Amino acid sequence: MQQKILFIGGPGTGKTSVLNTLIKQGYFCMPEVSRALILKAQQQGVDQLFLTQPLLFSEMLLESREQQYLNAKKANAKIVFFDRGIPDISAYMDYSKTEYPPIFIEKNKQYKYDKVFHFAPWKEIHTTDNERYESFEETTQIDAFLVKTYLNLGYKIIKVPFCSVDERTQFILNSLTF
């Protein structure tokens, strides 16, 4: 049976760095898809699609994350790591006070993850870039919405310690059953 392992946390908390380390170690990983959506929108002249049309962005993101989940199920891998999950979408919309249709909550319940690792805001590593524009304070607020959303869905959240990327990766691997 395939284990679906999810990384959650606000922007700039180290999820992608650990995911990239797992990829180098040969694990099957599903990267964050929002960066590609943001870049595509920017190429079409929309600077930050989530800020200007949060529901449209979220619908596109839901479709992409749902497809990732389905692709992972087809993969011949005992463990699949996900950089963000489907419930992140409704958490972000709650953070931005954007109303959304019930399909988002239905998808949160339909697609389940086996373990959820939380990367808490960490000021020392937080950075911004073209696609990650949130300040550390915004990251902290977003993180609170993410944790609340996953707890409300009944997930047990495993906190990833503040340490090096390699140590964080090893912590996660040590928490899994192979």
Q: Of 45-49, 136-140, 155-159, which range is least confident?
A: 45-49
Sign of CA dihedral 120, 147, 55, 65: positive
Global confidence as pTM: 0.90
Distance separating alpha carbons of residues 105 and 108, to the nearest angstrom: 5
The answer, yes or no, to whether residue 18 has pLDDT greater than 60, is yes
Q: What is the pLDDT of residue 125?
A: 77
The answer, yes or no, to whether residue 86 has pLDDT greater than 90, is yes
The answer, yes or no, to whether residue 173 has pLDDT greater than 80, is yes
Q: How confident is the model at residue 1 (pLDDT cuts 50, 70, 90)?
A: confident
H helices present in the chain, as ranges: 15-24, 34-43, 49-52, 54-74, 87-95, 103-110, 136-152, 165-174
What token pair was written down for 146? 């993410």
Q: Is 86 left (phi over 0), alpha (psi -120 to 50) or beta?
A: alpha
- For the chain, domains (ranges, CATH) are 3-174 (3.40.50.300)
Q: Of 44-48, 82-86, 88-92, which range is least confident?
A: 44-48
With contact defined as beta carbons under 8 Å apart, do 21 and 32 qualify? no
**CB contact set of 82 (below 8 Å; sequence gap of 6+):** 4, 5, 6, 7, 29, 30, 68, 69, 72, 113
The answer, yes or no, to whether residue 45 has pLDDT greater than 70, is no
For range 74-78, the mean pLDDT: 93
Which residue is associated with the tokens 């019930």?
102
Q: Count Cβ atoms below 10 Å from residue 30 Cβ, excluding itself.
A: 23
Distance separating alpha carbons of residues 176 and 3, to the nearest angstrom: 9
| Tens-place pLDDT, residues 110-141 | 999 999 999 999 988 777 665 556 787 888 99
**CB contact set of 21 (below 8 Å; sequence gap of 6+):** 165, 166, 169
With contact defined as beta carbons under 8 Å apart, do 86 and 62 qualify? yes
